[in-house]
Structure 1
Amino acid sequence: MQRGLAKGDRVIIALPNCPEFIYSYLGAARAGGIAVPLNLLHTPRELAFIIKDSGAKFLITNQFIGQQIKQLPNLDLTVTILDENSIKEILSSPPAAFPEVKSEDTCTFLYTSGTTGQPKAVMLSHDNLIGNVISMDEAAKFGRDENFLVVLPMFHSFGWSTSVLLPLYIGCTATIIDTFRPKELLQILSKERITIFCGVPSMFTVLLKTRRQTTFPTLKYAISGGDSISEEHMLAFEKLFNFPVIEGYGLSEASPVVCLNPLYGVRKIKSIGVPLPGVEVKVADDDDRELPSGEIGELLVKGPNVMKGYYNREEETRSALKGGWLHTGDLAYRDQDGYFYIVGRKKELIITSGFNVYPKEVEEVLTAHPTVAEAAVIGVPHPVKGESIKAFIVPEEGRTPDKQELLRFLKGHLAGYKIPETFVISSELPRGATGKILKRMLK
């Protein structure tokens, strides 16, 4: 407050995983400001866009990151560089008089990855974040003896809500590491009495490649989100490390967690589980009519965790929240037991010769082949079929996929129209901050 922050002012937080990130975020929120965490993996152009688009007036960062941000053009920010001296100054300052902050006030802007066009700021209220944390706790019944490993980026909704806000709400321990280093992470899981590890599929895949059969005496389970994990990799991971991986589903617009496989009930592999308490989920057709079990449609969400809207994007907000339901853009179906399954993105649906092809189905078959570590499937324009299928493949270490062998394998598992016409072998796939494959870059 001493630096002139008024209620509703946006505060850019550009820090790696560290306690100071938490203090800055919660301090800005308590003072009535709106926290805007920066994805540190963004390019200078992307960072400049977010700073300008958010209308931020303040920046909290460290010396190294601050030097890079200061080089961006046309910035007008009040900058706080967190170092030993500035922290001492802040701690010695007299307590500030805080404004009234209402639960429905906007707490944070979370910028989406911008799969189409420029990134959009998801506006989440205090109610949204608190409601999601309470729902997660009700679903899982965590205890005060838990120790969450914080390895996901704090600037991302999944890492922030599940690994920071949740343990803060419960009143348990959080062990912070600044970035994902596989060997170090395995050591910490083994020796620091970690009970819960939230990660993304790419982390589990990399850990699997270490082939280190380490014991984890206190670890109860890992929670995987942000993208789907192949059944083959999940089973291999659990066999090697001897603890379960629980899959869930969420998106920034829902604060972010929507569904989770029961931690102490029936877990269905390849399913995202069941809705959190207080959250409604349905699968609907293009007219928002709910579809019966087994039929594929768009996943719609309603609940206290659903965003207020997109900042300065009224038309896109109306479209996303049409009829009072959050339209996720994800295609899914529900089974007879009420478990949901994601089959792909609505905008990634491939239509070839009039047939619908869901990339995820093809990717799962490809990664089941012993020479394929990872796969990403997209549609590309075709003069006759409308679209043809193109597969990008990362080989297993020391293996070389053979196209004819892959085609024979795929023909045994997929209808002919679902089989890729083109294969591209690559050393890696482009990924976002949480490891999700960026198909727009492949296109």
Structure 2
Amino acid sequence: MPSPSIARGFSGELPPARFNMARYCLERQAAGTPDKTALIVVSDIARPVSEAECWTYGALDDAVRRIAAGLLAEGFEAGDRIMIRMPNTSEYALLFFGALAAGLVPLPSSSQLTAHEAEFLLSDSGAKAVAIAKDMVVDAGGARIFDETAIHALREHEPLPDYVDTAANDPAFLVYTSGTSGRPKGVLHAHRSAWGRRPMYRGWYGIRADDVMLHAGAFNWTYTLGVGLTDPWANRATTVLYNGPKDVQVWPRLMEAAGATLFAAVPTLYRQILKYCDLAEHDMSTLRHGLTAGEALSPALLAHWQEATGRNLYEALGMSECSTYVSTGPDMEIRPGSPGKPQPGRCVAALPVERGTEPLPAGETGLLAVHRSDPGLMLGYWRRPGDEEAVYRGEWFIGGDLAAFDEDGYLWYRGRADDVMNAMGYRVSPQEVEAALAEHPDIAEVAVTELSVREDVKVIAAYIVPREGAAPDKASIEAYAKENLAAYKCPREILFVEKLPRTANGKVMRRALHQPD
């Protein structure tokens, strides 16, 4: 049977030729519902949400156009990059959309970066300016520094009469990959990327204008910029963000206090909420469902959340180059262990690993590919033309993920092509081994990678975080693996650890597993 995604090309509605991402998210909303709440920023969970910082669509539109006017008055020109290195504040969001409104290219980055890491992004991007929060230090070189005073001054300008007229294919924003292997790599997106998210509206979260979206991520991640800001605003919904002290207890309290209808986080946070919070103490009746991305959602975690809350978790799979394009959603069956199907309109396929452009039949594992006509696909890698040659194969973009589709169109993730292990001459996906071991009752978390035991000899190793109260038992896990995996897929080494190394976005860093702290 051929691959489920046999249509060649994106079949959804394409964006208009002239399109500005900031205009798409704010102009129509401000004109139609200027007094509706668009953004709530909570800093102190002990205070009522009604006392938190609140922005209406009318106020957002005005502030964004003021910042756009201020940036243009400062002499910035179309395409100039402006790096943002701040925590989750309204100023971050205003600067990001203000730059878009002015035809500039914001570079969202993490406030947790070291000065050295920030300086690399600043240098590599060629940014003309960097916006920083109080007490942050960065060697800006020749770039201008916008501190809190300068940012406030931008908002004193008369608002730009209209959003800058940009083409759908004009550069909009630049993000950098997490850099778990080598230097971070810039991914340049066009204004059309916001339009390219439209298949997610029904295909993932079923978003409505009356929704209240609570997102637990940071702005430097496309997961947060898209799911936390762009999509809610494009649909006239309300976004709630938290920037107070880190405490897992905050999230169920905030769901209740804000009346959240949608909650977005990585699976690790859902796991922590279940472990450390008494959900029975909180009224979560407004929550329709949760959204999860960034790492695989285990069937055990899905079942635990469903049992504890009576709500579903809808998973999505994506990448920095095209955001999320495969997902489960309210209108489809959840199949535990699968992130779902390609969203309506998407053209997604599994291609042969070595070469070829014809989609593989159902059941065969290949490289996950997105048709290059997808409006959500990046413009390209920043100043790395050689990398682009490696990821395009004919009409397809290949991100390096391995996957197979079943006969019903559900995708089954098999890991990264560069994570695949070689065991006894067989290619083995670490995710496949992890998925099998994750069902063991004594395992809370597991990550699998190759471990060098002596020169030229590598074996499959499983790094396991035991469940609370469980006694680590190698023999039990080895027996379980033999029952559920082919012999060549079974770990030869079992190592118990207190936690798994992760990126700031919550993804497991397999290459760091065998390195000392």
Q: How high is the TM-score relative to the length of structure 2?
A: 0.80
| Partner AA of 1:323 in structure 2 | G
Give the Cα–Cα distance (whole angstroms) in 2 for the partners of residues 114 and 88 of structure 1: 33
The structure 1 residue matched to 2:262, chosen from 169, 173, 196, is 196
Residue 221 of structure 1: aligned partner: 289
What runs of 5+ residues in structure 1 fail to find an aligned partner?
A: none
Give the Cα–Cα distance (whole angstroms) in 1 for the partners of residues 269 and 473 of structure 2: 27
Residue 357 of structure 1: aligned partner: 428
Identity %: 28
Give the Cα–Cα distance (whole angstroms) in 2 for the partners of residues 131 and 359 of structure 1: 31
SS in 2 for 1:301: strand
Give the Cα–Cα distance (whole angstroms) in 2 for the partners of residues 424 and 64 of structure 1: 41
Kindly indicate whether structure 1 or structure 2 has the higher relative contact order, using CA contacts under 8 Å at least 6 residues apart. Answer: 2
Residue 159 of structure 1: aligned partner: 224
Q: Does 1:237 align with 2:305?
A: yes
The structure 2 residue matched to 1:265, chosen from 332, 339, 353, is 332
Counterparts in 2 of 1:384 and 1:151: CA distance versus 1, 3 Å: closer
The structure 1 residue matched to 2:375, chosen from 301, 304, 314, is 304
Counterparts in 2 of 1:357 and 1:76: CA distance versus 1, 3 Å: same
Between the two proteins, the alignment pairs up a number of residues equal to: 434
Give the Cα–Cα distance (whole angstroms) in 1 for the partners of residues 112 and 499 of structure 2: 17
Give the Cα–Cα distance (whole angstroms) in 1 for the partners of residues 118 and 370 of structure 2: 30
The structure 1 residue matched to 2:317, chosen from 238, 249, 253, is 249
Contact 2:110 2:219 in 1 (8 A): no
Contact 1:61 1:80 in 2 (8 A): yes
Give the Cα–Cα distance (whole angstroms) in 2 for the partners of residues 438 and 157 of structure 1: 19
The structure 2 residue matched to 1:278, chosen from 316, 337, 345, is 345
Contact 1:2 1:96 in 2 (8 A): no
Give the Cα–Cα distance (whole angstroms) in 2 for the partners of residues 141 and 243 of structure 1: 14
User: Within 5 A, what are the aligned runs for 1:5-84?
Assistant: 5-65=76-136, 68-69=137-138, 72=139, 75-82=141-148
Residue 422 of structure 1: aligned partner: 493
What runs of 5+ residues in structure 2 fail to find an aligned partner?
A: 1-71
The structure 2 residue matched to 1:367, chosen from 438, 447, 455, is 438
Contact 1:224 1:247 in 2 (8 A): yes
Residue 180 of structure 2: aligned partner: 115
Cα deviation for residue 384 of structure 1 reads 9.4
Cα deviation for residue 420 of structure 1 reads 1.2
SS in 2 for 1:283: strand
Give the Cα–Cα distance (whole angstroms) in 1 for the partners of residues 156 and 379 of structure 2: 37
Give the Cα–Cα distance (whole angstroms) in 2 for the partners of residues 162 and 371 of structure 1: 34
Residue 193 of structure 2: aligned partner: 128
| Partner AA of 2:511 in structure 1 | R
Give the Cα–Cα distance (whole angstroms) in 1 for the partners of residues 155 and 219 of structure 2: 23
Moved more, 258-267 or 379-388: 379-388
Give the Cα–Cα distance (whole angstroms) in 2 for the partners of residues 439 and 406 of structure 1: 20
| Partner AA of 1:126 in structure 2 | H
The structure 2 residue matched to 1:4, chosen from 68, 75, 91, is 75
Give the Cα–Cα distance (whole angstroms) in 2 for the partners of residues 385 and 292 of structure 1: 36
| Partner AA of 1:273 in structure 2 | G
Give the Cα–Cα distance (whole angstroms) in 2 for the partners of residues 374 and 258 of structure 1: 26
Q: Does 1:290 align with 2:355?
A: no
Residue 392 of structure 1: aligned partner: 463
Contact 2:206 2:329 in 1 (8 A): no
Deviations 1:261-286 (A, max 9, x none): 13122222211111122211001112
Contact 2:338 2:411 in 1 (8 A): yes
Cα deviation for residue 90 of structure 1 reads 2.6
| Partner AA of 2:260 in structure 1 | I
Contact 2:180 2:503 in 1 (8 A): no
Give the Cα–Cα distance (whole angstroms) in 1 for the partners of residues 306 and 135 of structure 2: 39
SS in 2 for 1:351: strand
| Partner AA of 1:281 in structure 2 | V
| Partner AA of 2:214 in structure 1 | L
User: Within 5 A, what are the aligned runs for 1:173-188?
Assistant: 173-178=238-243, 181-188=247-254
| Partner AA of 2:328 in structure 1 | N
Counterparts in 2 of 1:296 and 1:385: CA distance versus 1, 3 Å: farther
Cα deviation for residue 39 of structure 1 reads 2.3
Cα deviation for residue 385 of structure 1 reads 8.4
Deviations 1:243-298 (A, max 9, x none): 111111111100x0111113122222211111122211001112233111111111
Cα deviation for residue 91 of structure 1 reads 2.8
RMSD: 1.9
Counterparts in 2 of 1:87 and 1:33: CA distance versus 1, 3 Å: closer
Counterparts in 2 of 1:82 and 1:387: CA distance versus 1, 3 Å: same
Cα deviation for residue 10 of structure 1 reads 0.6
Give the Cα–Cα distance (whole angstroms) in 2 for the partners of residues 44 and 25 of structure 1: 21
User: Within 5 A, what are the aligned runs for 1:304-343?
Assistant: 304-343=375-414
Cα deviation for residue 155 of structure 1 reads 1.1
Give the Cα–Cα distance (whole angstroms) in 2 for the partners of residues 12 and 114 of structure 1: 18
